[in-house]
Amino acid sequence: MTEASSTAIDEYLAALAVERGLAPATLAAYRRDLSDYLAALGCEVVDATEDDVVAYLTRLAERGLARSTIARKLAAVRGLHRFLVVEGLAAEDPTLLVRGPRRSTPLPKALTVEEVERLLASPDPDDPLGIRDRALLEFLYATGTRVAEAVALDLDDVDLDAATALVTGKGSKQRLVLLGSFAVAAIERYLPVRLELVGGRGDPGRLFLNARGRPLTRQGAWLVVRRHARRAGLTDVSPHVLRHSAATHMVEGGADLRTVQEMLGHASISTTQVYTRVSPAHLLEVYRTAHPRSGHTPTRSVPCTRPSTPPR
């Protein structure tokens, strides 16, 4: 990579950081993808042609990379070339007519309501860290927040009287999320435990703390979810699966997409629309209860609620 091309990447990433407020981890991923692209070019980036871009994509396919990975790398390359044109550093955008691979959009994995119940029931209610774990799990499922948003939550961001929390998401954008009665109760029970975890040390201010009274990390939260999923007899469960589950259960329960979009902090409604592709079993249930020619007597169905318990 030449110094000029390296400078172009630096300027582009600096613009992304300022204009879009991207997280350092996201910027680092952009840098890796763009460095890979520039290493494959036999010329300065400002001199790249459409053939160069197509040849790069072909090499990626030959390396056996997934279509989603190739599409992501192409998106980074497009962004760089558009930036160069806008800044007057290049005359043309060689990616303008280049079509990337079709990205498949699999259904997000979601637990069933019964599986969520088992997961939430896993922490030991008599163990201080079990009480913390229950509060974390209830919060993740109630709000559908990203794990990074949950562990970054300050104590002052939570209003238990109003059953809300102020979450800071991607691009430093803030949104208000609802907690629900189960999450409120779990957090109320956790707060005295939190004081014990802080002990005589200075309070770090974060809501969720580790056993040493320091802020719980993303990795720590991931381990909490995995540990209790294993105890509940579940596999391949992560904080993101809980996020998918919360969104899927809300849509299947009748929530409109705009509400779910706001809850999840999606910038575009198109990202949220994947949750409209509900399970075949739910589709059959809705058809039987709603269609006048289904052969069943229409009844009111309210899926995804706990029997004999208040709503979240």
Strands ordered across the beta sheet of 158-159:
158-159, 164-168, 174-178
Domain range list for the chain? 3-86, 113-280
In the chain, where does DSSP find H-type helix?
3-19, 24-40, 50-62, 67-86, 113-120, 128-143, 147-151, 180-198, 218-231, 239-252, 257-264, 269-272, 280-290
Catalytic pick from 141, 206, 275, 312? 275
Catalytic pick from 72, 82, 240, 288? 240
Catalytic pick from 31, 82, 118, 170? 170
For tokens 């056996």, the residue is: 64
Check: CATH 1.10.443.10 for 113-280? yes
Catalytic pick from 243, 244, 249, 312? 243
Question: Annotated catalytic, 170?
Answer: yes
- In contact, 97 and 50? CB cutoff 8 Å: yes
**Around 83, how many Cα atoms within 13 Å sit in the side-chain half-sphere?**
19
Catalytic pick from 81, 132, 266, 312? 266
What pLDDT, in 10s, does the model give residues 16-66? 888 888 888 889 999 999 999 988 887 788 888 888 898 899 889 888 888
pLDDT number for residue 233: 95
Global pTM value: 0.61
- Would you tell me how many other CB atoms lie within 10 Å of the CB of residue 115? 17
Is 298 a residue whose pLDDT tops 60? no
Question: Annotated catalytic, 275?
Answer: yes
Question: Annotated catalytic, 243?
Answer: yes
Catalytic pick from 134, 146, 244, 312? 146
What pLDDT, in 10s, does the model give residues 276-295? 555 555 556 656 766 666 66
pLDDT number for residue 183: 94
